[in-house]
Structure 1
Amino acid sequence: MEPGSVLALYTDGLIERGGNGSDDGLRRLTKALAALYRPDGTLDETGRALLADLVEPDTRDDATLLLARTRAVPEDDIATWQIPGDLAAVSQAREWTTRQLTAWGLNDLQFTTELIVSELVTNAIRYGRPPTELRLIRHGVLVCEVTDSSSTQPRLRRARATDEGGRGLFIVAQLAERWGCRHGQNRKTIWSEQPIERSP
């Protein structure tokens, strides 16, 4: 989909009216969206106008509408590195991360991002399956993603003082503002997000 496209997700209560089928309702929704949508307006305004236009006051069915706009991150704000399946790649990933953050002028995030990269890459090499990829995305926040070909869901644990492992995701959770896992077909991505401080 092209950046700037608008997706409309809805329940059948929005497009089915009386005895009319959903085809008529879908045509009405499409026509109303084309008429009401303004690129400089908010989706909230558009959604409210659509609901006011399409939902009859005495309807007995629920009518739900969710509008979303697609965006694209410029290529210069994405950096990707293929990770060899060797634990020596962890230090290489840290070096690559430092160079990339320096190029982006994000020196203040180097220390925390190196720690996050270390933990995520180590986990991917130890517990995941190749191919493994590290990706940094600069887009209002700094996103660090590590993808491997295992679908095993990682678990956040609190390691005891005598445990030798089990602290990786806990460290990531402490350093990042948000983190999580998303699954794709035959792969998973662990991601973390850090705020980028803007100069006044």
Structure 2
Amino acid sequence: MTPGTPAALAEECPSVVEKMWPPAPRSVGRARQFLAHHLDAWGLSRLSDAAQLVVSELVTNAVNHAHPPYGNLISTRLERLESGVRIEVHDSNDHKPERRDATAEEESGRGLALVDVLTGGHWGVSNREGPGKMVWSVLADDGTEVPR
């Protein structure tokens, strides 16, 4: 196998990666880069544009809404699936976000609607161990049913 090829990179890259982020706006871009690197290593760069938009929306929500009393913990977990990627964003806020339809005058509130479209409805909010929640999404490109 030739070093640096997608197949070689996939063998070197674990199928699940996790990273903690500070609760700051710069974490959004860093999470996008982290995701893009792993998608490339997994041979899934064709999903990169949509996946980066999804992780941007989810990390932005966590940065904006993960507040005390439990701290500002934010983490991402990426899992390589057979035909795609599962993206999880964990934060310490117990409030579960809901998709809504923003009016034309509103400057925000469209993020989860965008996630819904990009993932074909394969996203949700789950409890996690400890305080807070996990917002997950799955992007796949072969039309098969994806795990939730």
> How many Å apart are 1:162 and its aligned residue?
1.3
Distance in structure 2 (CA, Å) of the matches to 1:197 and 1:103: 19
Query: Contact (CA 8 Å) 1:80, 1:134: kept in 2 or not?
Result: yes
- Structure with bigger gyration radius: 1
Alignment partners' CA distance in 2, 1:109 and 1:76: 18
Amino acid at match of 1:181: V
2:45 is the alignment partner of 1:107: yes
The partner residue of 1:78 within 3, 13, 16 is 16
The residue identity in structure 1 corresponding to 2:102 is: A
Q: Distance in 1 between matches of 2:60 and 2:94?
A: 16
TM-score, structure 2 normalization: 0.79
Aligned residue identity for 1:194: L
The answer for the alignment partner of 2:56 in structure 1 is 118
Q: Shift of the alpha carbon at 1:94? A: 0.8
8 Å CA contact 1:182, 1:189 repeated in 2: yes
Q: After the TM superposition, which segments of 4 or more aligned residues of structure 1 sit over 4 Å from their partners? A: none
Q: Deviations over 1:8-55 (max 9, x none)?
A: xxxxxxxxxxxxxxxxxxxxxxxxxxxxxxxxxxxxxxxxxxxxxxxx
Deviation at 1:128, TM superposition (A): 1.6
Q: How does 1:181-196 map to 2 (within 5 A)?
A: 181-184=125-128, 185-196=130-141
**Conservation of the 8 A alpha-carbon contact between 1:142 and 1:196:** no
Within a 5 Å distance, the mapping from 1:36-75 to structure 2 comes to none
Q: Percent identity?
A: 34
Q: Which structure's relative contact order is higher, taking Cα pairs within 8 Å and 6+ residues apart?
A: 2
* Aligned length, in residue pairs: 124
Q: Which runs of 5+ in 2 are unaligned?
A: 1-12, 144-148
Higher helix share: 1
Aligned-residue offset at 1:142:
1.1
Which of the numbers 89, 92, 105 marks the counterpart of 1:146?
89
Residues 102-128 of structure 1 deviation map (CA, whole Å, 9 limit, x = unaligned): 111101000000000000000000012
Task: Name the SS of the counterpart of 2:14 in structure 1.
Answer: helix
The one of 83, 89, 107 equivalent to 1:164 is: 107
